[in-house]
Amino acid sequence: MPKRGSWRTRFGFYLLAIGSACGLGNLWRFPYVVGENGGGAFILLYVFLALAIGAPLVISELILGKTTRKSVIVATQGLSARAGTSFKWVGRFSVMLTIVVLSYYAVISGWVLHFLSQFFVELFRDGEMNSRTAPLVFLMNNGWLQLLLASAHLLITIVVVAKGVQEGIEKWISYMMPLFAGLVILLVVRSLSLPSTLEVLRFLFYPDFSKLTYSSLIHAVGHVLFTLSVGFGTLVTFGSYMRDEDHTPTAGFRVAVVDTLISLIAVVMLFPVAFQASNVPLTDPALLFEVLPKYLVSLPGGNFFGLLFFLCLYMAALNASIGLLEVVVSNLTDVYKKISRARATWFAGAVSLLLTVVPALSSSVFGTFRFRDRSLIESLDSILINWILPLVALGLSVAYVRGTSDLEKEQSFIDRERFVSVRMYPNWLFSLRYLTPIVIIAGLLLQIYGVFFRP
């Protein structure tokens, strides 16, 4: 049986957990979801939910992994046995969701690869990207290129995961991420000096609640879950690698806070540029790719800067993809004890490769598909993140609450040396028992009303 890895250092755990949380969700998805939901009021709702239900869910998934030392399918089997109810479907569903999400995440990672290569080529051509019709249009019209790039991305992911947890990437992410942070901060400073800044800050931070729609609550919940990697079993797997002496609530809370801050920085970075390019709708899922490259090439030394930026963004996307594939592999090796890690990785990767055909060809071969004025990839994103993910996360949370005793919950949360954990314990329980189910169910019902019944 393959040996379960364990983080050599606490810093290593943070790198991977934060690395898996911070990805395209923060930089690509969050900005257009904010655009779709009208800005300030949505951001306020999002930050509240990230702390009130996101962080508690991160913590409970990490605890589940750390206490069982298993991945989500086996861990929920244990919970089912204890609760006397079958929660097995939740674990299985979450792993299936993970494979599907990986295949469409690969398509967006492929877009990043495309821009990375464009900036690279641009280094030798200087200035042409500005005048040529945007590389995005080229990409959108060329489904096979999208498929090729998504497949290349999946292959890289597979190779890294097949090599194993520790040796994999831990080392080199640690070099890239501070560089990424530096680039983003530079960009924030630059874009905040654009004339649109005041208007942008008002849009982002002045809450106008009339802009929220019936779907906004579940959009906020869905994005919180997606960006914190809750509901995929990722955190259960990561928790199973934690060391005994690590305090899970502190780790979970920090991951949630850092991830939320990064999302906020992403919108502050992107929106001034997006407002400047007034022809691009803020609700466009390609918003990041639409406005940022054009802005970057207009800056002095922009090609080189763009190359570095997209390289870092790619690393973040790769890191998150590794987290996704890692979960599937750890579940397979937990359930089928005879299968080797490398085999499980190639198997899960191959399934993902097959599935990726659909989202990759969304704007070309399946271009005529429209559902409520959304393209195939947008509809897929919406079904997965705004409908299925909240249900799975709710299922996991209920399974945890019902399948563990109060004493166990208390013991895994409270660390007597940290007084704050004693004070936070009742809030955590309250969130898991009441707030999370109420918010998710209310969000889903409002969405059903808004989508199907509103005149």
Q: Nearest 10 degrees: CA dihedral of 291, 292, 298, 302?
A: -170
- Tell me the C-alpha to C-alpha distance, in Å, between residue 361 and each of 96, 276, 373: 21, 31, 17
Up-side HSE of residue 42: CA atoms within 13 Å toward CB? 29
Whole-number Å distance between alpha carbons of 24 and 110: 11
- Is 129 in contact with 296 (CB distance < 8 Å)? no
Which of residues 7, 32, 232, 241 is near ligand PHE by CB under 6 A? 232
Residue 25 is a binding residue for ligand PHE (CB under 6 A): yes
| Binding track over 400-419 against ligand PHE, x by CB under 6 A | --------------------
Structure tokens at 371: 């559902």
Residue 71 is a binding residue for ligand PHE (CB under 6 A): no
The partner residues of 55 in beta bridges, in order of sequence, read: none
Nearer to ligand PHE by C-beta: 330 or 421? 330
Residue 328 is a binding residue for ligand PHE (CB under 6 A): no
| Vertex 100 angle, CA 241 and 18, to 5° | 35
Nearer to ligand PHE by C-beta: 328 or 361? 328
Nearer to ligand PHE by C-beta: 194 or 351? 351
- Is 71 in contact with 233 (CB distance < 8 Å)? yes
Q: Which stretch binds ligand PHE (CB under 6 A): 21-29, 239-247, 296-304, 338-346?
A: 21-29
Residue 107 is a binding residue for ligand PHE (CB under 6 A): no
Nearer to ligand PHE by C-beta: 25 or 39? 25
Which of residues 18, 24, 282, 361 is near ligand PHE by CB under 6 A? 24
DSSP string, 88-101: HHHHHHHHHHHHHH
Which of residues 184, 287, 320, 358 is near ligand PHE by CB under 6 A? 320
- Is 395 in contact with 88 (CB distance < 8 Å)? no
Residue 255 is a binding residue for ligand PHE (CB under 6 A): no
Distance from the first to the final alpha carbon of the chain: 57
Which of residues 293, 323, 403, 443 is near ligand PHE by CB under 6 A? 323
Residue 359 is a binding residue for ligand PHE (CB under 6 A): no
Q: Applying CB under 6 A, which residues contact ligand PHE?
A: 20-21, 23-26, 226-227, 229, 232, 234, 320, 323-324
